[in-house]
Structure 1
Amino acid sequence: MSSSDGSVLGVTKIVDHGPDTSRWNLVVLGDGYEAGELGQYHTDVQAFVDVMRVTPPFDNLWSAINVHRVDVTSTDSGADDPTTCAGGTGATPATYFDSTFCSAWGGGNLDRLLTCDSTLAQTEAKAQVPLVHQAVVVVNSSKYGGSGGDIATFSTHAQAAEIAIHEIGHSAFGLADEYEGSGSAPATEPDEPNVTLDANRATNKWRHLVLATTPMPTRCNAACTTSSCTPPATPAATTLTGAWEGGQYTSCDVYRPAFACYMRDYSPFCEVCTEVIRAALNMYLPAESITLTTSSIDFRDIPEGIGGTGVTTWRAVRWEVITSRSLTFRVVTGPTGPFTLPQGGTVTVGPGAYLPSAPVRIWLAYTSASAGSTASGSVTVRCDETGQQWTVPITANTVARKTAEAVLVLDRSGSMDEDAGDGTKKIDKLREAATIFVEAMLPGDGIGLVRFSNNIHRLKDVQDVGAPVSGAGRVDAIAKIAGSQMNPAGRTAIGGALQEGAAALADGQAGAATPYDVEALVVLTDGQENEAPFIDDVAGSITAHTFAIGLGLPYNIDVDKLNRLTQSNNGYLLVTGTLTPDQRRLLTKYFLQVLAGITNAQVVLDPGGDIGVGEEQLIPFSITEADYGMDAIVLTDLPGALTYELEAPDGTRIDPAMLGALGTGLRVDRDAVSYYRAGLPVDPGNPRGTHGGTWHVVLRLDRERLGDAFWRKHPEGRLPYDVVVHSWSSLLFRASARQDTLEPGAEVRLFATLTEYDVVVGADRSTVWADVLRPDGHLEQVDLSFVGPGWSAAYSLEAGTGLYRIRVRASGSTFAGELFTREQTVTAHAATGYERPGEEERPEKEGRRPKPWWWGRLLARRLLRRGDRPVR
């Protein structure tokens, strides 16, 4: 039970207010945490720091303090709990600092007195942080306990933070306990600054804090029969600083400054203790400074909105502030021009703000007009406390929405005639998904088509899709997807098809009257390539954003090659797995997610369900003030059977007629999809009620709308559906998954970024996690941690071979306090049947699927098990 029972892993500076040479350095170490419990240790330390940060007077002195966390593992969990004290369990875990309850005190043992090897703790703290001022040890036990001395200790009891702060009062600032006990008053005046034997107004050690009207002594302990205390004629108010009898474990003849204090009962520190702490830390406070970091604000190239409503964007006037007091920044003039103050014109920072943890922001807003419009103005801000004043010029301009050209590279090899898993042929799934992709594209975006088997053919040059439903490019693309040229036949030439897709993008760019801002390839395949040129042969020539969708099981698809291709071109691979009836529209949802990635839209919601005859269902989703347009999409095989409306946050029901009258959007109804596309706010005359807040997709299945087709397909009287909500937004979420190997047990790194108006949204107002559907059907939640500008987590593919479908999700609140949700699906894969990079490609006979690299080895093992010899 010593340093041989664990190890010191290193130190992390978790509160950084400047160089250690000029700050008061608090070092936190852990004891009784096994290696697998370090995450809990980090949580326990942060909980303590969070409480200390807001506890007076540390709140006003916080910028004087650096906090360092030393990671220490122990062989066992917990602390010694001797039976010498009543209630002791007798536990003797092997821990690094040998922490123990029931330590010696006053000639006996005290159960709650938790101590450790303070010499070793001091040595390790100094080794990690040479300029340490105070070290504390948090002990992994929920039992109440702690101690002061050279090293402060505290347990993880519910009052852990309070225990720690109390004990630091002893160790760092020399404060005495102010509670009473059965002890006797000392013979001479105590050294501690917060207890005394002297209740005389003229000579008391804290007399400068005592009001002339406060009686001295202020209150006597009525239980004392030997007390020399003279009770005041009138009881004093408990808020006064004076001489209150009882303290330093003694009930009689010892006085404390206040009725209550942190050193007595965890009440706020009394005036005397506060003065002592402040005197010790004042010398470490940084000099106050205010630096304007945005000398001008430029709303540059804000795009036109969706449905005729402008895009509202925020930009902040920012200051970097170092202060140990509260400072208020106030708009005194402006903003002039079309600019507004969406969060008001006053903001207060501090006390204890230190760069870079607390930048000051006053937000300005601009709503775009028509393309080519410009605007200018200014705003003047003053700091009330310092009198400093800044005038910041503002400019803005509106540009046309960014456009995208996308070429769908579609597999029509012979295997696409197979069942997708739900009784529908793969080619029919492809046709439906690709059609809905085209239906949902925005006017001004371009669509091109390449189909491939062993023969590669450009079905359609890139063309503007045109108006919803009736646009010439849209109608032509949908017809070609449905046409006989997409009938399955032949083998699989993915590399050549990608080459042709890239050529189609180049031709589309050259032929466009206005260049497209984004170029994207979307390849769908259900097999492994077996015709040259191969993916690796052409990957170096692909520069467009590239997305891939694998239809089927991972081991049938060139997962490794497509992963490398897409991840090096700002895209990703999604694999469907076998499409079961409850995942019948997964391919379509994948296509819509890819479309969102191409057009910079955000996936707000992606639920599924079913509705019965006569029912009305309301599916909620969150829209924020940072969203400026939305698509609310319903996928179902019989959209005409549904009555579909939207309900705004104020309860307004929105239908196609209302949207048409407002001129801010439309509804599209097609064979397998119905969607509302609207700018925000939907009703410009009612911006609060029809913009940010909780919206609902409202679905009704009315009997009178049902025909024979419905009852033939759904004799049980329930219609399955999926709802997909996308938004165009200044609140951006992106997720990805990367794995270096495809073997079972491989580690997948999950990454996510979340920004609002170009400002990173961190753990203070958002949470990011992943729901992982494993190959065995088990659903597992993985929390992502915020590190620097993004979120990440490591996930091990330990559930065996197969497809891992990972739904990365985020929720939180915007700067304006409105709730948001975001999500994106990624996939990972584990199998032993992938062709490994660099292995020789072997052409196969027409009509025969290529055998994976492990086929011969598997056959050999089977023959050997039967007693035969493998064929060589």
Structure 2
Amino acid sequence: MSTSDGYVLGTHKIVDHGPTSQRFNIVIMGDGYQASEQEKYATDVKAFIDLLRSTAPYTDLWCGINVFRIDVVSTDSGADDPGTCGDGSTGSGATPRTYFDSTFCSDGDTRRLLSCNDDTAINLAIAQVPAAHEAVMVIVNTNEYGGSSDGRVAKFSTAPNSAEIALHEMGHLVFGFADEYDCRTCVAGETGHDHYSGPEPPEPNVTINTDRNTMKWRASLTSTTDALPTTTNADCTTQDTQANPQSATYVGAYDGADYFHCGCYRPSFNCRMRALGNPFCLVCQQAIRDALHQFLPAESLTLTTPSIAFDNVPEGLGGVGVTTYRAIVFEVVTCATRTFRITAGPTGGFGTPLGTSISVSANDNVPIEYARLWLSYTSTTAGSTSHGTVTVQCDETGQTWVVNIIANTVARPKSAVTFVLDHSGSMSEDAGDGATKVGKLREAASIFINAMLDGDGLGIVRFDDTAQLLMPVTNVGPPVLGGGRIAATGHISGPELDPAGNTSIGAGVVAGKNALDAAQALGAPHYDVTAMLVLTDGEENTAPFLSAVGSSITANTFAIGLGQPENISTAALTTLTQGHSGYLLITGQLTPDQSARLNKYFLQILAGITNAQIVLDPHGLLTPGATHRIPFQMAETDYGLDVFLLTQSPWLIEFALEAPNGDLISPASVTVLTNLHYVQTAGLAYFRLSLPAEPAKASGTRAGLWHVLLKIAGRKLDVSSHNAVYASGSSNAQGLPYDVVIHTYSNLVFEARATQSSFDPGATISVVATLSEYDVPIDDRAHCWAEVTRPDGSMFTVTMSETDPGRFSGQFIGDVAGLYAMRVRATGSTFTGNLFQREQTLTAAVYLGATRPPETGGTQQFDWCAFLRCMINGQLIDRAAVERLRQSGVNLDVLAKCLEAHCSSKRGS
């Protein structure tokens, strides 16, 4: 029954409000908890801390308190429970072996008097928390009711209301409170406690003095005229049972306290020092405040945003402006609740979308809190400006601040992107779904071109062993018929991308950079964002190599590897893209069920270039007679919406959107909604609209649950909620396969990235995602996870933990060689409580031979495949000579086919 009956695991500072030397330090330790019960112990401690934190006046003193939890293992559970006790009660007689030797009936007379070896507790507190500690408490693992405090250590059990016992005992231990009840055991026939006859008690909450001018709590008396004492016990041989003649918070002098029926007075009718479950009376509260005041940090309320600037808010579509928020921010150091309120303004047409007041108070382990009052601005026309002011006041302190506000509207930021496209010989191969790689490229690139925004620029570069600029960066123009779109589509579909030659990705990247530089040098139009999209199916095998040119790139760079990772310059492309604000996506072998994967990759990269957010990306099979209702969430942070339908025959599908209020938006709606565009072209149909979709119905056509409605043409769309599922399916089934990709332009931003420790099997693959709303990290309002598909097609989920506000991370081991596809998803709520959803696709790859050892000597085998490719593709024989050979009857196409057949392992051709 001593320290030999257990051991100390360690100490945790579970509430940290500053240096131990400057705070009120509570040290908690447990007795009668075995090793297997440590989780229960932590939960029991938390229950006490939660109650303490929410109990007045600790609510206003919390930032002056530190709490340390010492984890102690006992050999046995529970506490000693003597068989008999002086109060007539009986116990189990158990004597468990515990570290602090806790026991009930410790005085021999009172069963509920729970005590322990105080010297052991004090010595352990000194050893584990060497600096000063103001309260040492032992929580005992037993469901029997009990507790005590002798001025050195407070003890309490884990019985129901045990946390209440702890608060009561802490009142004795730290603040010297007396018990305010008028008997110790309250058993029938108790004697010796009829009338107090001693001197003035030293405790701050009991007195024998009823003179309002001299009594110890005279400053807290509710009335200056009411007679004292407030109540008198007419029968001092028993407890006073009369009702309270005053209000619950009334402070006077109530007869009966400190275990006496008469002659000793308490401040209030009921208090936590009289009966558990009551609040501390105002006198006890003031005593706690006086004791803890010295530990409180100095209060400060600091305005960190003396002016608010809505800089360069873009115009919206169709005359519907873009609404964005900015916050007036205060750094708050306080132990009290502080309420900041807008008392005047804002002037100048600015709004207060989230209300005009906000209250903050101290939080666990957070020395500084932030109070944010949100202002809004809706853009108008490019070149317009607004000016205003707003006045904010702190209700409790009376301080006021005047904040200046400015805003301006600009034209929509424009993006320029250059395609850097592989047309080496291997692009003629089957992509896996029966189509050639170059055919898949042409399809995906055409969809990207048709989905681009009017005013954005596109350039096209092709590369094999050399690189050529096919089209300088050109404004794509209006949907479908824009001159830049038509020209770009012509280059993509024409013979200029016919497969031939080796692979110099570096040459293509340099040409892409030069095209972007040339566009910016012209000065008009100016592009706010520049990006490159590199597509290749092979390994680079001709200089210049990416390692030599990557440092010169300034544009955001994305890449798509068409094929299996071991056949692509995976490591070099990863380094290139991750070093330039982009990422690499690898398709793997395309199958009929995933025939649209490349198209979706192109659209995802389009979103990355234009700062759009991906809301949802489902695949389905539309069968005759069915209406598919695909739900998706939009929030008030979203100001634009693109809904893309990818299918081989979009004209065979009736396509519509249903707003949260039930309004239907169809292709015909373009005649009445000026902020709506509908486009239908080969392989693609889409709606593009600003939000709210119907400005006159803003509350019903912006935030909330939307639906995409799809039905095979010829029958009326079923907009009922009963046919609300969409099904995945094979393109071989009876129906039309489709993919829906939903993008939003938003002030709520989600971004995911994957990194890996190596490209060898067994590598650690880490996934990190961030969420922010109006540039503020989304803290504790979202969940994030990654749905991972292994190379063998099996799936698993990676839970991503919020490691910092708005930052989520998870990892897994890539133990199987091949491609890992990750669908990283997030759901949560905005500041106003509206739901949102986001997702992004990432890939990672590990493959055998990723880390190749350097040559160590010996004779290198001559590469006849590379030699013959070099000859026929114009490195040893120029292109004019090649053409003359063709005219003289030498069939170089046959040679090329032989090369593909016999050198297929030499990727990059």
TM-score range, shorter chain: 0.7 to 0.9
Aligned partners of 1:121 and 1:151 also within 8 Å:
no
- With over 3 angstroms needed to count, the CA separation of the structure-2 counterparts of 1:393 and 1:715, relative to structure 1, is closer
Alignment match, 2:850: 834
Give distance in 2, aligned partners of 1:64 and 1:703: 71
Q: Which amino acid aligns with 1:81?
A: S
- With over 3 angstroms needed to count, the CA separation of the structure-2 counterparts of 1:122 and 1:301, relative to structure 1, is same
Equivalences for 1:51-66 in 2 at 5 Å? 52-65=52-65
Give distance in 2, aligned partners of 1:35 and 1:737: 39
Deviation at 1:545, TM superposition (A): 1.0
Alignment match, 2:881: none
- With over 3 angstroms needed to count, the CA separation of the structure-2 counterparts of 1:601 and 1:186, relative to structure 1, is farther
Give distance in 2, aligned partners of 1:217 and 1:5: 52
Deviations 1:190-218 (A, max 9, x none): 98959879899999987966885898778
- With over 3 angstroms needed to count, the CA separation of the structure-2 counterparts of 1:578 and 1:263, relative to structure 1, is farther
Alignment match, 1:860: none
Q: 1:802 aligns with which of 794, 798, 818?
A: 818
Deviations 1:787-845 (A, max 9, x none): 2x541424131654433333333322222332222222223334443145978999952
Alignment match, 1:587: 598
Alignment match, 1:649: 660
Alignment match, 2:783: 767
Alignment match, 2:757: 740
Deviations 1:77-135 (A, max 9, x none): x973269769999999xxxx9588877845599899899963464135424xx354446
Give distance in 1, aligned partners of 2:338 and 2:696: 38
Alignment match, 2:76: 80
Aligned partners of 1:327 and 1:350 also within 8 Å:
yes
Give distance in 2, aligned partners of 1:773 and 1:144: 53
Alignment match, 1:24: 24
Alignment match, 2:473: 462
Alignment match, 1:813: 829
Alignment match, 2:875: none
Deviation at 1:136, TM superposition (A): 6.2
Deviations 1:292-321 (A, max 9, x none): 322222222212223432111222223333
Alignment match, 1:857: none
- With over 3 angstroms needed to count, the CA separation of the structure-2 counterparts of 1:851 and 1:50, relative to structure 1, is farther
Alignment match, 1:123: 126
Aligned to 1:784, what secondary structure does the other structure show?
strand
Deviation at 1:666, TM superposition (A): 0.5
Deviations 1:747-798 (A, max 9, x none): 33333322222222212x33333333344513223122242x5414241316
Q: Which amino acid aligns with 1:389?
A: T
Give yes or no for the alignment of 1:782 onto 2:799: yes
Give distance in 2, aligned partners of 1:478 and 1:838: 44
Give distance in 2, aligned partners of 1:300 and 1:571: 26
Equivalences for 1:626-665 in 2 at 5 Å? 626-665=637-676
Give distance in 1, aligned partners of 2:400 and 2:761: 62
Range with greater deviation from structure 2 (737-746 or 304-313)? 737-746
Aligned partners of 2:363 and 2:369 also within 8 Å:
no
Give distance in 1, aligned partners of 2:80 and 2:333: 52
Give distance in 1, aligned partners of 2:245 and 2:674: 74
Give distance in 2, aligned partners of 1:736 and 1:331: 40
Q: 2:293 aligns with which of 282, 286, 292?
A: 282
Q: Which amino acid aligns with 2:820?
A: Y
Give distance in 2, aligned partners of 1:815 and 1:532: 52
Equivalences for 1:441-452 in 2 at 5 Å? 441-452=452-463
Aligned partners of 2:31 and 2:102 also within 8 Å:
no
Alignment match, 1:232: 242
Deviation at 1:384, TM superposition (A): 4.1
Deviation at 1:675, TM superposition (A): 1.2
Aligned to 1:438, what secondary structure does the other structure show?
helix
Alignment match, 2:807: 791
Q: 1:823 aligns with which of 829, 839, 857?
A: 839
Aligned partners of 2:656 and 2:665 also within 8 Å:
yes
Aligned to 1:634, what secondary structure does the other structure show?
strand
Give distance in 2, aligned partners of 1:458 and 1:426: 21
Range with greater deviation from structure 2 (146-155 or 745-754)? 146-155
Equivalences for 1:302-451 in 2 at 5 Å? 302-350=313-361, 357-451=368-462
Deviation at 1:599, TM superposition (A): 0.9
Aligned partners of 1:299 and 1:396 also within 8 Å:
yes
Give yes or no for the alignment of 1:721 onto 2:738: yes
Aligned to 1:662, what secondary structure does the other structure show?
coil
- With over 3 angstroms needed to count, the CA separation of the structure-2 counterparts of 1:843 and 1:793, relative to structure 1, is farther
Range with greater deviation from structure 2 (812-821 or 770-779)? 770-779
Give yes or no for the alignment of 1:667 onto 2:678: yes
Range with greater deviation from structure 2 (678-687 or 145-154)? 145-154
Alignment match, 1:870: none
Aligned partners of 1:175 and 1:263 also within 8 Å:
no
Give distance in 2, aligned partners of 1:639 and 1:206: 83
Range with greater deviation from structure 2 (231-240 or 553-562)? 231-240
Aligned to 1:359, what secondary structure does the other structure show?
strand
Equivalences for 1:181-192 in 2 at 5 Å? none
Alignment match, 1:868: none
- With over 3 angstroms needed to count, the CA separation of the structure-2 counterparts of 1:12 and 1:505, relative to structure 1, is farther
Give yes or no for the alignment of 1:484 onto 2:495: yes
Deviations 1:703-741 (A, max 9, x none): 5599xxxxx996744333222211111222222222232
Deviations 1:584-611 (A, max 9, x none): 3332222222111111111122223333
Alignment match, 1:709: none
Q: Which amino acid aligns with 2:445?
A: A
Greater Rg over alpha carbons, structure? 2
Deviation at 1:238, TM superposition (A): 7.1
Give distance in 2, aligned partners of 1:534 and 1:850: 20
Aligned partners of 1:749 and 1:794 also within 8 Å:
yes
Give distance in 2, aligned partners of 1:457 and 1:145: 85
Range with greater deviation from structure 2 (562-571 or 330-339)? 330-339
Deviation at 1:442, TM superposition (A): 1.0
Aligned partners of 1:35 and 1:73 also within 8 Å:
no
Q: Which amino acid aligns with 1:508?
A: A
Give yes or no for the alignment of 1:504 onto 2:521: no
Give distance in 2, aligned partners of 1:357 and 1:271: 29
Give distance in 2, aligned partners of 1:320 and 1:786: 23
Deviations 1:628-673 (A, max 9, x none): 2111122223322221111222221112332332210201112222
Alignment match, 1:752: 769
Give yes or no for the alignment of 1:681 onto 2:692: yes
Q: Which amino acid aligns with 2:76?
A: D
Aligned to 1:681, what secondary structure does the other structure show?
coil
Alignment match, 2:629: 618
Deviations 1:265-310 (A, max 9, x none): 4454444543343232223334444333222222222122234321
User: Structure 2: 5+ residue runs without aligned partners?
Assistant: 82-90, 718-728, 867-899
Deviation at 1:521, TM superposition (A): 1.4
- With over 3 angstroms needed to count, the CA separation of the structure-2 counterparts of 1:597 and 1:14, relative to structure 1, is farther
Range with greater deviation from structure 2 (744-753 or 359-368)? 744-753
- With over 3 angstroms needed to count, the CA separation of the structure-2 counterparts of 1:682 and 1:272, relative to structure 1, is same
Alignment match, 2:886: none
Give distance in 2, aligned partners of 1:438 and 1:87: 82
Equivalences for 1:506-655 in 2 at 5 Å? 506-511=517-522, 513-655=524-666
Q: Which amino acid aligns with 2:312?
A: D
Aligned partners of 2:621 and 2:730 also within 8 Å:
no
Aligned to 1:321, what secondary structure does the other structure show?
strand
Q: Which amino acid aligns with 1:319?
A: F
Give distance in 1, aligned partners of 2:679 and 2:393: 51
- With over 3 angstroms needed to count, the CA separation of the structure-2 counterparts of 1:629 and 1:562, relative to structure 1, is same
